[in-house]
Amino acid sequence: MFKDVAFGQYYPANSAVHKLDSRIKLILTLVYIIGIFFVKSYFGFMLTAALLIIIIIAAKLPMASVLRSVRGILLLVVLTSIINLFMIKDGDVLVQWKIFVITKNGVHTTIKMVLRLVLLISGASLLALTTTPVELADGLESLMRPLSLIKVPVRDIAMIMSIALRFIPTLFDETNKIVSAQKARGASLDTGNIFARIKALIPVLIPLFVSSFRRADELAFAMDARCYNATDKRTKMKKPKIKFSDVLAAFVVLSFFTVILLERYYFPSVGINIDAMIFGGLL
């Protein structure tokens, strides 16, 4: 039953974004995240949100799937907003009660921080939603390859990642079997208080560990038998190819990044004016 569950957040869909090269996606996600930290004005945040919405539509993702990942950081957002709101004391005072002061400046900083966090998490989740774990591992390996010059065992790390991913469904199946076997012997795994339940997990975890070690042992023999480590120049059957859509995606995200930088450092008045135009007296 676990076999068909897409672990991680991957949302399968047949879209151009899903088909992008995973290395490009990793790099562009990084560029996007860095870009967010340069955004200063509401205008900049609107640009970012627009980019995000375009990507979500192109990726054929339901909004809910992206919002779900934002829900995960809701508590963090609420807590940091409260702290921010009361910690910033400079600027025009809006409300004052005993030692608690809320200033105009504090409100703006807080709103911007919330926007920044939400846009950041949504952007990062787009990567996880549109890229399978295996593609991510391959992409990371490819990007980390230069590190092998300084003796980082990139190839082995990548192999460990991909084998770990490959064994997740197998171990899920195994866990199900052990649970059934222990239930057949009268174990009750889902009753009692939290301590009873944790204790009930022991007879599941121990056989799972034992069998995992046995599997690891057999797998090591099977890999050796198939000449793993025969040469330092291991080749790959699949060569990722940069497609036109990859170039296009890079162009879009890099343009976004450039606009953000220009707006912040060369034309700050643009953001200020547009913000004033939209929000008028609220600012």
Chosen residue from 94, 206, 223, 247 binding other proteins by CB under 8 A = 223
Left, alpha or beta for 76 (phi > 0: left; psi -120 to 50: alpha)? alpha
| Site size toward other proteins, by CB under 8 A | 29
Yes or no: say if 127 and 28 are a contact pair by the CB < 8 Å rule.
no
Question: What is the C-alpha to C-alpha distance for residues 162 and 148, in angstroms, rounded to an integer?
Answer: 18
Question: What is the C-alpha to C-alpha distance for residues 171 and 181, in angstroms, rounded to an integer?
Answer: 15
Residues 42 to 61: which contact other proteins by CB under 8 A? none
Q: H or E stretch including 179? A: helix 154-184
Chosen residue from 83, 222, 247, 278 binding other proteins by CB under 8 A = 222
Place of tokens 């910033």: 88
Kindly tell me which of 3 and 199 has the beta carbon lying closer to other proteins.
3
163 counts as binding other proteins under rule CB under 8 A: yes
Yes or no: say if 242 and 25 are a contact pair by the CB < 8 Å rule.
no
Question: What is the C-alpha to C-alpha distance for residues 25 and 124, in angstroms, rounded to an integer?
Answer: 10
Kindly tell me which of 80 and 170 has the beta carbon lying closer to other proteins.
170
8 counts as binding other proteins under rule CB under 8 A: no
Return the range that interacts with other proteins (CB under 8 A); candidates 78-86, 227-235, 244-252, 263-271. Answer: 227-235
Return the range that interacts with other proteins (CB under 8 A); candidates 43-51, 85-93, 117-125, 212-220. Answer: 212-220
1 counts as binding other proteins under rule CB under 8 A: no
Question: 95 forms bridges with which residues in the sheet?
Answer: 102
Kindly tell me which of 3 and 89 has the beta carbon lying closer to other proteins.
3
| Least Å from the CB of residue 141 to other proteins | 13
Binding map of other proteins across residues 85-114, x = CB under 8 A, - = no contact = ------------------------------
**Which candidate, 110, 109, 130, 93, places its Cα nearest to that of 19?**
130
Kindly tell me which of 69 and 176 has the beta carbon lying closer to other proteins.
176
* Number of other CB atoms surrounding residue 121 within 10 Å: 19
Return the range that interacts with other proteins (CB under 8 A); candidates 44-52, 75-83, 178-186, 211-219. Answer: 211-219
Residues 122 to 151: which contact other proteins by CB under 8 A? 134
**Cα radius of gyration rounded to whole Å, the chain:** 25
Question: What is the C-alpha to C-alpha distance for residues 20 and 10, in angstroms, rounded to an integer?
Answer: 14
Return the range that interacts with other proteins (CB under 8 A); candidates 30-38, 68-76, 193-201, 226-234. Answer: 226-234
Question: What is the C-alpha to C-alpha distance for residues 49 and 70, in angstroms, rounded to an integer?
Answer: 14
228 counts as binding other proteins under rule CB under 8 A: yes
2 counts as binding other proteins under rule CB under 8 A: no
Residues that bind other proteins (CB under 8 A): 3, 134, 162-163, 165-166, 169-170, 215, 218-219, 221-231, 233-239
